[in-house]
Structure 1
Amino acid sequence: MSYVGPDFDPPQPRRPRRGPLTVAVAALVPGALLGWLVYEAVGGSGGGGGSDRATVRTSPASSAIGTPVSSVAPTSSSPDDGKVPTPTPSSPAASGPLKGKVVVIDPGHNPGNFQHTAEINRKVNIGTNWKECDTTGTSTNGGYTEAQFTLDVSHRLKALLEKLGATVKLTRDTGSPAWGPCVDQRARIGNLAHADAAISIHADGAAAGDRGFHVILPGSVHAGAADTRAIVAPSADLGVRIAGNFVRVTGEPASNYIGDGTGLVTRKDLGGLNLSTVPKVFIECGNMRDSKDAALLTSGAWRQKAAQGISEGIVSFLRAS
């Protein structure tokens, strides 16, 4: 998300880099993640400015924060052919450990938003204030759009979760309307599905040299149509598990420009989170405007790893809930 709109604020001034903190390493496995305790997931004031932070504490046995990401070896078990799996029907498999669980995946933006600026600029109520229905998203310098990236990863993630028996729904898909849906509608899809977990897939559009991923957690909001108080804690748990597995599987470092090296940020200005009544997080998988990250984001093999890391985080959360 790089353009000003419902789910992105203008990039903040770059803060001095802290120590080599990361969210997890190869030693962090789903079993160990069960010991992670989230004591605080609410940052500073909400509204349209600033990024809130989450304070995440881990048990001594499972803590791997502080180990350099360079020591993480990406897994080699994911397919490396770069092909996009054929989307499967939104129905649970006959059996599997996630049978009965519902996951909603929200592929950020829409390729047609560029041609429908009037529609996506319409303001919607996100609880704390009013924001545009949607935005165009960003792209690599070579023209690979965020909307293409998010749908590709979402298809891969959907296939992985359905193999485990989950019912998976997308907020948009191939053949969807030419623009949107609006951020309030995206949240409503997850709510009406009574999702056990929901995730919005994005890629960032920060300055070159800014790289890495970060997971956005909902802050505590109780205003207008928004009330996130019941989902703050489970969403933080979901986000921590996704972050730990994402860095382990992909080798992508935690963001060096937001989140103080933790890979976790709490915000109160995102309609997709504010209006959610089910556990939900956003993930910015990397910076499309940085050459190193762009090389990963445009690789089908790496996108498969991204989907695998996100999937393992969701599976860990669902098995523990």
Structure 2
Amino acid sequence: MSNSGPDVEPSPTGRPRGGVTAVALAALVPGALIGWLVYEAAGGSGGGSAEGAAGSSASSASRPAAAPPASSEPPAADDRKPAASPSVSVGDALQGKVVVIDPGHNPGNFQHTAEINRKVDIGSAMKECDATGTSTNDGYLEARFTLDVAHRLRDLLTAQGATVKLTHDADRPFGPCIDERARIGNEAKADAVVSVHADGVGAGNRGFHMILPGAVTAGAADTRPILAPSRDLGERIADGFARETGSAPSNYVGGGTGLVTRTDLGGLNLSTVPKVFIECGNMRDGTDAALLTSGDWRQRAAKGISEGIVSFLRG
């Protein structure tokens, strides 16, 4: 996703949940070392993103679509089946709770550019139906990454009794459009919705960040009822993600908080239930890309996200 320009609001002045800052600082050195070791073992990579919530990754409409990569397959086959997580607690802790997971983009979007460029109403503006998303320099698609993390996240949450729905499972030729992605969560009366993405900005920009809905009241969009719970959800996921992955908050947006507020994303503007986006890392940075293409790291990412969701749902 692109985070430059007027669409990105200033980072919040309030302190993030204590865990993010503390974990981020503690994770900087070991996280960097782990990233370097994985990078060396993998031979390096790189990558970028779009709002595929459409934009979806949460990339801005002004960002040109990424060119189709030479290969749409990951460098390794370790995303075929989610790795088992020995620390997952099985039970009914989330019985009765509904979680919608929104995997950013769709692997087929590259073959349907005319369809995904069609404008849809996001309340405050007209915006492209979806976006292609980004990829690492080695051709690992963001859309493949988001689906893999979504599958792992679904397994973790289902094991705790939650009802989990995906906005898509690469079971359609393209999309869904960003307005439909929001509608799926709304109609499910979801207790929480998380849109999974990976960013696509210049090398050297590293780390994760949460995208929270800003105040929008226009047309069909009215985010006021979901602002506070969405922020709570985002802060809790940020804490869990930092703790489980060792990743630090973004060094290029959010002022070190790992939290960014935006009002230009249809997937957030049209939501009537608590919803956030997570940009798990930068696919165009070699060090981050080495993590994003690791099945073990993706399992830890899913676990961190799930822990944040569970914390939010338990109050």
Asked if 2 retains the 8 angstrom alpha-carbon contact of 1:85 and 1:159, the reply is: no
Which structure has greater helix proportion? 2
The equivalent of 2:65 in structure 1 is: none
What TM-score, normalized by structure 2, do the two folds share?
0.79
Q: 1:208 to 1:192 in 2, by over 3 A?
A: same
> Which secondary structure does the structure 1 equivalent of 2:255 belong to?
coil
> Which secondary structure does the structure 2 equivalent of 1:316 belong to?
helix
The equivalent of 1:36 in structure 2 is: none
> Which secondary structure does the structure 2 equivalent of 1:231 belong to?
helix
- Following TM superposition, by how much is the alpha carbon of 1:54 offset from its aligned partner in structure 2, in angstroms? 2.6
Instruction: Tell me, in whole angstroms, the C-alpha distance in 2 between the residues paired with 1:60 and 1:167.
Output: 30
Alignment of 1:55-94 (within 5 A): 55-57=13-15, 64=22, 67-70=25-28, 82-85=78-81
Instruction: Tell me, in whole angstroms, the C-alpha distance in 2 between the residues paired with 1:219 and 1:68.
Output: 30
What TM-score, normalized by structure 1, do the two folds share?
0.77
In structure 2, give the amino acid aligned to 1:132. E
The equivalent of 1:291 in structure 2 is: 286
1:152 is aligned to 2:148: yes
- Following TM superposition, by how much is the alpha carbon of 1:71 offset from its aligned partner in structure 2, in angstroms? 5.7
Alignment of 1:272-283 (within 5 A): 272-283=267-278
Alignment of 1:1-321 (within 5 A): 1=1, 10-12=2-4, 49-57=7-15, 64=22, 67-70=25-28, 82-85=78-81, 96-174=92-170, 176-320=171-315
- Following TM superposition, by how much is the alpha carbon of 1:220 offset from its aligned partner in structure 2, in angstroms? 1.1
Aligned pairs, how many? Answer: 267
Instruction: Tell me, in whole angstroms, the C-alpha distance in 2 between the residues paired with 1:220 and 1:164.
Output: 33
Deviation >3 Å, runs of 4+: 55-68, 71-74, 81-86
Instruction: Tell me, in whole angstroms, the C-alpha distance in 1 between the residues paired with 2:253 and 2:124.
Output: 22
Asked if 1 retains the 8 angstrom alpha-carbon contact of 2:133 and 2:141, the reply is: yes
Gap runs ≥5 in structure 1 = 2-9, 14-47, 75-80, 87-93
In structure 1, give the amino acid aligned to 2:269. N
Give a deviation string over 1:190-227, Cα, whole Å, max 9, x none.
00000000000000000001111000000111111100
Gap runs ≥5 in structure 2 = 33-76, 83-89
Asked if 2 retains the 8 angstrom alpha-carbon contact of 1:112 and 1:178, the reply is: yes
Instruction: Tell me, in whole angstroms, the C-alpha distance in 2 between the residues paired with 1:234 and 1:185.
Output: 22
Q: 1:272 to 1:156 in 2, by over 3 A?
A: same
> Which secondary structure does the structure 2 equivalent of 1:64 belong to?
helix
Between the aligned residues of both structures, percent identity stands at: 65
